Structure 1
Amino acid sequence: MGGESVGTETEEQPHGATVVVDGFGLKGPRGWVFRQVSFRAEPGALVAVEGPSGSGRTCLLLALTGRMKAEEGHAEVAGLPLPRKMAAVRRISALGQVPGVNELDPAFTVAEHLRERALLQRRYDGSVRALLRRPAERAATARARIDEAVKAAGLDLDALPKGERTSVRDLERLEALRLSIALALMGRPRLLAVDDTDLKLSDADRAEAWALLRSLAAAGTTVLAVCSEAPEDALRITTLSGETGETTPQASGTPASGTQAPATTEATTTETAAAKTAAPEPGAGARPAADTTTGATDADRAAVGETAADDTTDATTEEGAADALAETGRA
């Protein structure tokens, strides 16, 4: 996906993240949101989290990218343990679209979103040498970063109604998805997470969306995608909500083309009916550029309750769930 040239002003980093999950669980104030999730995905895997709305899919995505704190089990992303190293995981992961956390601003144009993210990326991820470059050189570097990310996301700016001046409100659903992925790719993440991948897409657009995610995985990025129905060639993690008691769905499937085979393809999740009213879905919006997926500052980490010794965030409370999600979505 041209990832080697995205963010060329920063030091080259290893690409793709191994994700290991064993008995992972998150509990809200009214019950388990998800529980007993276990799977392993190698760098460059395409992992599809499927299930009905309210079954804990989004919270699982946020927990595995260091935005929510799990209470049980063990998980590692690129060798970083969760929840102890949540801030470190946020620095190597990026969110595509996640409603209520980093939604696109409908009043912004495509160009405004891209320029704002490039500026933030330079601020949080740039080296000291890059910050001291001449304005013209910094502008050229930012433009190259944008071009590479847009190309990798398959977003054709010339095909938009008003080119890069097109407002987000005028984008088709698939185009908005590509834009959100382009913004995430500017940080050259090792783990890319996308929510509601196939929501409101036609069959043709759904096929294009999965083709895009396969291409990113084939280029080395580990991709975690929430969907209502997973493609057969993805590592499938299924979440189900039970009206009575607990359910134990099974995950099946194979990694996407071009990825390394995972050591295991097992995954199980259980969820109680009470969890559906806990903290399953993020509730407060945040501007997209606020999801600075790399280089969180000490002030940013302090804002979400982190300490130098242990960078976990405080457990989500019922009253502060929306604010906590919006805040952690910015790191």
Structure 2
Amino acid sequence: MHAAAVTAEGLGLEGPRGWAFRGIDIDAQPGSLIALEGPSGSGRTCLLLALTGRMRATEGHARVGRFRLPKQLAAVRRISGLGPVPGVTDLDPALTVAEHLHERALLERRFGGPLRGLLRPRAERRNETRLRVDTALTAAGLDMESLPKGRRTSVRDLERLEALRLSIALALIGRPRVLGVDDTDLKLSDAERAEAWDLLKSITENGTTVVAVCSEAPEGAVVVRTRAQETDSATEPERHGTDDDKETADALPEAGRA
């Protein structure tokens, strides 16, 4: 696996409510851990989706590997994967861990490779799929035997850190060069937060650049700080809900258009 460099200059995205983020500069080498640090509602999720080709920046430019943003969104999507992003890659609480893995493996086998791969013997394809899944689980540090019901454990019964590991494993099945993770340190204890960052650092060491949204960046990360953008209170209608809810609401339609 070959990690991708990530660079940006003056990157910004203006949406219906004004600027989600603006003036973002990044210079990260392949295999970096890039921490998008900022308060809730400061455009962190939108920036994550823009850097992984799921949202179209409206100002400035960026490069992921050899692909330019915002011009080559589809190419960036092909080399990037998303771990947990609320409202975009949610796990289904009714499905088991095994069902999630099986579904993702089937999708990857059907759409993630060249069509000629479908012509190979079924046993060969099955073995490759099993290897991909096992490799992804190992990289994500998800021990199936430690789960309450092993592979038959429902997502609703997973602890927060276990769900994080599963989401990351699902993304890694596609062997991305860049992995995006939202809300990395949300609802984690200090010990769990340290585990999560150690996990992401190990993924970078294995050849994947990681872009992670957080409230506080770990030591050694390439830190990109976001801040809340001013809105026109005279024209902005009153809304209820958290800043995270608003940011995700803005991100969903834009991600669909990308």
TM-score by length of 2: 0.91
Does the Cα contact within 8 Å between 1:56 and 1:280 map onto a contact in 2?
no
For residue 192 of structure 1, report the CA deviation from its aligned partner. Answer: 0.5
Report the Cα distance in structure 2 between the residues aligned to 1:165 and 1:193, rounded to whole angstroms: 27
Pair 1:39-2:39 in alignment:
no
Match of 1:148 among 135, 138, 145: 135
Select which of 258, 262, 282 maps to 2:248.
282
In proportion to residue count, which structure has more strand? 2
The equivalent position to 1:182 in structure 2, one of 158, 165, 169, is 169
Within 2, Cα distance between the matches of 1:100 and 1:44? 27
> Which of 209, 215, 237 matches 1:228?
215
SS in 1 for 2:8: strand
Superposed displacement of residue 147, structure 1: 0.4
Q: Distance in 2 between matches of 1:128 and 1:326?
A: 25
Contact 2:17-2:231 within 8 A present in 1 as well: no
Q: Report the aligned-residue RMSD.
A: 2.0
* Structure 2 CA distance for aligned equivalents of residues 141 and 182 of structure 1: 16
Whole-angstrom CA distance in 2 between matches of 1:153 and 1:105? 19
Measured after TM superposition, the shift of residue 81 of structure 1 is 1.0
Bigger fraction of residues in helix: 2
1:61 aligns with 2:48: yes
Structure-2 residue corresponding to 1:105: 92
> How far has the Cα of 1:324 moved from its partner?
4.3
* 2:180 is equivalent to residue 193 of structure 1: yes
Partner of residue 255, structure 2: 325
Match of 2:148 in 1: 161
Q: CA deviation at 1:218?
A: 1.3
Where does residue 11 of structure 1 map in the other structure?
none
Give secondary structure in 2 for the equivalent of 1:281: helix
Residue 323 of structure 1 deviates from its aligned partner by 4.0
% identical aligned pairs: 63
Distance 2:231 2:3 in 1: 35
Choose which of 198, 207, 219 in structure 1 pairs with 2:206.
219
Partner of 2:79: 92
Match of 1:81 in 2: 68
- The within-5 A match list for 1:14-53 is 15-53=2-40
Structure 1 residue 26, shift from structure 2 partner: 0.4
The one-letter code matched in structure 2 to 1:56 is: G
Distance 1:92 1:165 in 2: 30
8 Å Cα contact 2:21/2:227 also seen in 1: no
- Any gaps of 5 or more consecutive residues in structure 1? 4-14, 242-270, 284-317
Question: How many Å separate the matches in 2 of 1:24 and 1:66?
Answer: 13
The residue aligned with 2:230 is 272
Distance 1:237 1:136 in 2: 45
Q: CA deviation at 1:39?
A: 1.6
